[in-house]
Amino acid sequence: MFVLTVDQRRSRERDDLVEATMAALNRDARRPLRLAFDRTAGDEMQAVTDNPATASAIALELAASGQWSVGIGVGMVREPLPDNTRAGAGEAFGRARAAVTAAKAAPGHIAVSGASVLAGQAEAVLQLVASVAHKRSRLSVEAGLLIDQGLTQQEAAERLGISQQAVSARLHSGLWHESRRAAEVAAALLEGADA
């Protein structure tokens, strides 16, 4: 099981982003959660999933924004699961707490804690992908998000009013395809860490 504990960075200097972010994540049917995101304290939220791709995708999305520190705890949770994460217990919850603390000073603001060496390997890949994503230009992100929505490069080019070659160049400069493959590796490593 995977517990995501997410803490808003520099929350004293910014508006509270927790409610709006939780609402968006909880209604995303592409990412199955066993327990939906719930505010656990102040500027922090937490969710539970048994899907490693979901854990990886949410962690990368939040960490790449630069607004969140993200911890993923890998391990057992006490079943049956309660109605909300605040009442949850088990190894993965404790590990998620340690991971989010580590994430505050980690590359890419993301950390993974699990008993398996694979958790550390997943962390390394996720940190690299989050760091790359955080350094992308606005133009690269704009093109990449359209591709992630399922548009072809030509369709993205038409939407952006640029050439297909320009879209390709933006994806290339942002290491978009490489990052997508690396995220798949991270999800596979998380799955192995939970085995």
φ, ψ dihedrals at 139, nearest 5°:
-65, -40
pLDDT for 15 equals 83
**CA pair distance 82, 134, nearest whole angstrom:** 35
pLDDT for 47 equals 97
- Check: CB of residue 170 under 8 Å from CB of residue 147: no
- Residue 71 and residue 36 in one domain: yes
Domain holding 150: CATH number? Answer: 1.10.10
For 96-135, write each residue's pLDDT tens digit.
999 999 999 999 999 999 999 999 999 999 999 999 998 9
With the C-alpha atoms ordered 125, 128, 134, 140, is the resulting torsion angle positive or negative?
negative
For 123-177, write each residue's pLDDT tens digit.
999 999 999 998 999 999 999 999 989 999 999 999 999 999 999 999 999 999 9
Residue 83 belongs to a domain = yes
Residue 109 belongs to a domain = yes
Give the domain range for residue 165. Answer: 138-174
- For 103, what's the count of Cα atoms within 13 Å in the CB-facing half-sphere? 36
pLDDT for 29 equals 84
- Residue 106 and residue 153 in one domain: no
Alpha helices by DSSP H, listed for the chain, are: 18-26, 52-64, 91-103, 117-134, 138-148, 153-160, 164-173, 176-194
Mean pLDDT throughout 77-83?
94
Residue 152 belongs to a domain = yes
Amino acid at the residue 175: L
Residue pointed to by tokens 């994460």: 85
- Residue 27 and residue 100 in one domain: yes
With a cut of 80, say whether residue 12 has pLDDT above it. no
**Which neighbouring-strand residues pair with 112?**
72
**CA pair distance 125, 181, nearest whole angstrom:** 10
With a cut of 90, say whether residue 13 has pLDDT above it. no
**CA pair distance 185, 114, nearest whole angstrom:** 17
